[in-house]
Structures are given as structure tokens and as C-alpha cells.
Amino acid sequence: MAIIELKNIVKTFPSEKVGEGVHAVKDVSLSIEEGDIFGIIGYSGAGKSTLVRCINLLESPTSGEVLVEGKNITAYSEAQLRSVRRRMGMIFQHFNLLNSANVFENVAAPLKNQRRFTKDEIEEKRAELRKDSSLPEKEIKEKEKALLKSNKKLSGKEIKERVEEMLRLTGLEDKARAYPSQLSGGQKQRVAIARALVGKPKILLCDEATSALDPNTTTQIIELLRSLQEKLKLTVVMITHQMEVVKSICNKVAVMEDGKVIEEGSLVEVFSEPKSSITKEFREKTLYRKEALALTEKNRRNLYELTFIGEKANDPAIMELVRTYPVEVSILFGNIEILSGVPFGTLTIDMKGEGKDILDAVAYLKSREIKVEELGGHRIEGFSGEENDSCRGQNPEYYKNTERSEEVKIDDELREEDKIWNG
């Protein structure tokens, strides 16, 4: 079931300089399932932060609908929205802590004047009571009256217990009396996370939560968020421009550009089969693609990128390939990581041999359900431009060196380079 559903969201900011205003979000529709860690990635100015602020209506959409747990909240009053927002925590890039309050006081701040249940929670509990047909009407009314009577403001003891629980979960037990000026960036973000979750929300919105942190601290915060999501059964929406963050924690992802969602799906689908140019750009930053292409252009290599997903990441395909086919394979780059619990591996290889043998080797790899993408290679006589590109990796003649005779020969310089790459 979708816990958050965005339908045709448009957000336009008025502008004196731009007659029609600034279109920050353009007709975006998304469905986020309960328990998802949903990443929204894009460069600065893509509209992702505006979009996430539309989810809890910190920004009211110009048009469109926001459904939370099946209810359209875009027409809610401010009092109704306060009740909805209690079920959504939010953390920001710059922490937004109260500098004059210590850690305990910062975390406790959302609980001030808070009652035990929201109006929606009261209605849910009433509905549960009335589901029990065995109860007489008089007893149901007595239980409802007792429920309303119990819905008092949280006591000091209850607030203390909740805050201490969150400090324990975020590893801040010994920092309760410290002030923000005495904390590191990572500790400040932990305080912000504890504050966002102390009200026991179902949804956590993270707007560039790791962008102001160093890589090591980013990893720690990602691990903390993953742990809290599992323990507290949260649905998390992650706004970021960092592909590494998305890969580390998300199970689904949407890519934004110029206010639009241009691609979405499971993390493995989007990362292994990117369709848009910007998604490919994000992906290439983590796979040494530019380095491989530069090597191709410099030394006229025949480079291929192999992608292994799931159990195929353990497949000894390269070893069996060189045993079966008369080709030489040099591994230039390689990486295996876990994406949403699924092994995902890539290898950039240089393959040398006769054209037909290379084609047979590529077909063999594909027969083992390994994705093969050609990154570059030798040009052949009689083909140019798009025609040449279309034939690359398909016609055996492509692999013949036009400047030499029947056999592709590797000069001494390339042999020396191979020794460097292969140790």
C-alpha cells in the first residue's frame, strides 16, 4: 500500500522578473510504499527539495494532490496539518538546532504541549473499538470516554523517557547536556535525527541530510538511518545529489531534472539499466567509465563493461572464457557492491584477438546472462561515423586493425601497460 502518493504536483513560485513565475516542480507523480527507503536524486535546482517540502505541505503545491495514508491532505486546515505532520519527521542539511538549548532540550522541543494521541489516532482507536461486535453499545461509549480522558499532554516523565530512548538509539547518551557549539557535524545531525523521531512518526523526510558531512561521517549517518528504519518500521524519503548515498541505503529511486521526474524504479533497475542521460552520468561517476573511455581513445583498446547482477556476481565467467576462446582478457577496473541487498558487480576489460573470436566470446558472456557493453575499440576500413558505431561489437571486420595485416598486434608500449594493470 502506498503510504505517500503524489498526483500531478506542480509548484510555481511568483517572480517579478519571470512573467509566468519559476516552475520548480512540473507535473510530478510518485507512489511511495510503506517501508520504502525512497531516494530522490538530482543536481542542484532540479526541484527535489521543493518536492519533499510539498509532501508535508511546508510548501503548498500550486496544483495536484498529496495523499498520506490514503487521505488527500492538500485541502486540510492548519490544525489538521499539524496532526499529519506529527506523523512525519524531517531532517535538514544544516541541522536547524537551537543553539541556546542543550541536546536534551533540542530533542524534547517537539514534545512540548503534545498530547498522547493525534485526532487521527483517536479516530483509529474508536474504529477499532466499534469493530468488536461483541461489546454492548454502553461499554463502547465508556471506553471511548476513557480514551478521550487519557489523551492528556505528555508528562515530564514521559518526555524524559522518550528523549532518553532516542538519545540511546542515536548514540548520544553522554551528550544530553552538551550544546550544539560543542558538537561535531555528525553529532549535530544525530541530534536532528533524534528530534525528528522523538514524536514516533511513521515517515521520515531527509532533505540533503548528509551533504554537509565528510565521507566517513556520511557513512555513519547512513548506517544509523538504516538501523532506525528497521527498528522503528519507518518509511524514509531521501533527497540527495549524492549517488553513493542512494546506493548505500535506498531500495527505490527517482531521478529529477528541471522540475520533472525523468526516471524511477527499483535501485537495481535504475542503476543497471539507466535510460536518461543524467542517470547515466550519475552512474558513470561511480564506475570509472570516463577513465576507461580515456584509455580507449589513447591506446585504441577494445574495452567492454561487464555487469553482473545477483548470483552472477559470483560467476567465474572470465576464467572459463579464456579457457574456451582464443582471446586475451585484461581486467582494468572492477567493483562489487550490494544494492538494496542484491550483489551488483562491474568489470571493465580489454579483449584482444581475432574479430570472430571476440564476437564469439561476447556472445558466450551474454549467454550466461551477463550484460556486455562496448566502451570502445579499433575502427575498421569502410565504415565511418554512425555506421561505424552501429557495427562496433557486431561485425567481425570491426576488430581488424586497418593499419596492419591479418592479425591485430599489440605494440611494446601496450604490453608494458598491460603489465602495470595486471601486476
Per-residue pLDDT of the chain (423 residues; tens, 9 = 90+): 799 999 999 999 988 776 778 999 999 999 999 999 999 999 999 999 999 999 999 999 999 999 999 999 998 998 889 888 988 999 988 889 999 999 999 999 999 888 888 777 788 888 888 887 777 888 888 888 888 888 888 889 999 999 999 999 999 999 999 999 999 999 999 999 999 999 999 999 999 999 888 889 999 999 999 999 999 999 999 999 988 899 889 999 999 999 999 999 999 888 888 888 888 888 776 666 666 666 656 665 678 888 888 888 777 888 899 999 999 998 887 888 888 888 888 888 888 888 899 999 999 999 988 889 887 654 323 323 333 333 333 343 433 443 333 333 434 444 444 444 444
The backbone region for 376, taken as left when phi is positive above 0, alpha when psi lies in -120 to 50, beta otherwise, is left
In angstroms and rounded to an integer, the radius of gyration of the C-alpha atoms of the chain is 28
194 class by beta-carbon count within 10 Å (0-12 exposed, 13-18 middle, 19+ buried): buried
Q: Which three cell numbers stand for residue 320?
A: 572459463
Among 332, 396, 324, 334, which residue's Cα sits nearest to residue 359? 396
Q: Which three cell numbers stand for residue 372?
A: 556486455
Strand order in the sheet with 2-13: 22-33, 2-13, 63-68, 71-72
**pLDDT value of position 336:** 81
- Quote the CA–CA distance of 199 and 258 in Å, as a whole number: 34
Angle between helices 289-299 and 277-284 (to 10 degrees): 90
- Quote the CA–CA distance of 78 and 132 in Å, as a whole number: 33
Report residue 220: phi and psi, to 5°: -65, -40
Helices and strands: H and E segment counts in the chain: 16, 14
Report residue 268: phi and psi, to 5°: -65, -40
Three-state DSSP state, 339: strand
**pLDDT value of position 400:** 40
- Quote the CA–CA distance of 113 and 110 in Å, as a whole number: 8
Three-state DSSP state, 96: coil
- Quote the CA–CA distance of 217 and 338 in Å, as a whole number: 20
* Paired sense of beta strands 2-13 and 63-68, if any: antiparallel
Three-state DSSP state, 16: coil
pTM score of the predicted model: 0.76
Ranges of H-type helices in 96-197: 103-108, 119-131, 137-150, 156-169, 185-197
Q: Which three cell numbers stand for residue 27?
A: 507535473
